[in-house]
Amino acid sequence: MARRVVTVFGGSGFIGRTLVRRLAAQGWVVRAAVRDPIAAEFLKPMGDVGQVTPLRADITDPKAVAAAVAGADAVVNLVGILYESGRRSFDAVHVKGAANVAAAAKAAGVARLVHMSALGADKNSESLYAQSKAAGEEAVLAAFPGATIFRPSVVFGPDDDFFNRFGKMAMISPVLPVFTGDGFKPVCTEHGCSIDLFGSGGPTFQPIHVGDVSGAIAKVLDDSRLAGKVYELGGPRRYSMKEIMELVLATTGQRSHLVPVPFGLGMLQATFLQMLPKPMLTKDQVRLMKVDNVVRGGKPGLADLGITPVAAETVLPLYMKRYGKHNQPDADAAA
């Protein structure tokens, strides 16, 4: 019996490497389509000899994409960017690149296509990122009507760029920001008046573990009855941004102070921070945070795939301890 072949665009990324390992364990022959196959050599030991192969393919190059999907039984597109840089714009990657993958998969007779979008996808959003994700979904479905779309909330795991970022900040900064749109309001009771600095605690997130995301994709690839739908993926609990920061402090043992930041001030900070080679914050990201990043309902989710989501509290201590006090440079020097 011939082994099934899957091409995973973005196979060396955060979600990609977890998915590649899972699919290889399930017997798939995996082509990891990446921009730098040499840097993706670490994927090879995830399968038997010759089972996992990194290959060069930029999704903005239609010819490279077509070569990468030729002869594949399934295709997964995980490629996405959080900020624009040079020619790698939201439109080039999330829309045109996604359309390239979908069109090539259809032309090659691929049986199943999975496309990674995001919960914030909305053509009417203030955020260009969210607009491009929505346009990408439309482009994919226009080229490959039977495609499966996944919209996850923020994804967490040992290599994430969410909790890890705040963990690093907690190590070096005495404060952690909490963006808020309804803070700094006077609150009066029979006992007197005060200022509610944080309001509702800022934007709300529903973090989902990377293992649950890869598990969801693998299930769809294995069962044709699950394909061709739009899935919204979120973890078992919703957290305000304030609660996210409190969780970071609880799992690292750091004592940074939480500081409320109005969105207007956040936009001003982002004006300068987005000029960095790898921006810490962009104005578009601030716009994106004005809308809660949670499952809305009305779409199938993890429960429909038979997956019980992992809670952040059970996993974060396993990798956030690296940002604990005992790992700070000054503590090591004094020892």
Tens of pLDDT, residue by residue over 29-66, are: 999 999 999 999 999 999 999 999 999 999 999 999 99
Q: What is the pLDDT of residue 334?
A: 37
Q: Cα–Cα distance between 30 and 43 in angstroms, integer?
A: 10
Q: What is the pLDDT of residue 62?
A: 97
Q: Cα–Cα distance between 106 and 99 in angstroms, integer?
A: 11
Residue 169 in this model has a pLDDT that exceeds 50: yes
pLDDT band at 3 (very low <50, low <70, confident <90, very high): confident
Residue 329 in this model has a pLDDT that exceeds 70: no
Does residue 331 lie in a domain region?
no
Rg (CA), the chain: 21
The domain in which residue 76 lies consists of 5-157+205-235+292-307
Do residues 226 and 265 both lie within one domain? no
CATH code, domain with 212? 3.40.50.720
Do residues 15 and 78 both lie within one domain? yes
Average pLDDT rounded to a whole number, residues 228-247 = 97
Q: What is the pLDDT of residue 297?
A: 86
Do residues 119 and 149 both lie within one domain? yes
Do residues 28 and 78 both lie within one domain? yes
Do residues 45 and 132 both lie within one domain? yes
Domain tally, the chain:
2
Does residue 106 lie in a domain region?
yes
% of the chain surpassing 90 pLDDT: 90
Does residue 58 lie in a domain region?
yes
Do residues 23 and 85 both lie within one domain? yes
Do residues 111 and 177 both lie within one domain? no
Q: Using an 8 Å Cβ cutoff, are 210 and 153 in contact?
A: no
Lookup: tokens for 238: 């919703």
Do residues 114 and 210 both lie within one domain? yes
